[in-house]
Structure 1
């Protein structure tokens, strides 16, 4: 069985203004803050999530994708 590749981009949607931006995620760390380009809000992860991509993105961060072993489902 072939291992799925990790997806490196995710679209973050601001929960305040609904602005969407596609960003490249870091591969070796979780991103704990994100400045919304729409309204300037500083986003932080929701309780229980490791980073802003896991909370507000269309794809969870690479470390979580690898941990779950199901990166292919986000393609």
Structure 2
């Protein structure tokens, strides 16, 4: 299975959506919404903002490896 590197993040605060390229060497713990400026953090039990708010899980999870 090919790893997808783009994920659409949906802000839980305002619903704004944006496609972002995910980092491959580390997890992204913070993400600022371009629309409402709220800083997103992963939900409990998730390793990064892509696993919590993205349309595609982070590369580590896609590889079935432990996350950062």
Which consecutive unaligned segments of at least 5 residues does structure 2 have?
none
| Runs of 4+ displaced beyond 6 Å | none
Structure whose alpha-carbon radius of gyration is higher: 1
Aligned CA RMSD, in angstroms, stands at 0.9
1:36 aligned partner: 33
1:6-17 to structure 2, matched below 5 A, reads 6-17=3-14
Which consecutive unaligned segments of at least 5 residues does structure 1 have?
69-75
Which one has a larger percent helix, Structure 1 or Structure 2? 1
1:1-75 to structure 2, matched below 5 A, reads 4-67=1-64
TM-score, length-scaled by structure 1: 0.84
TM-score, length-scaled by structure 2: 0.93
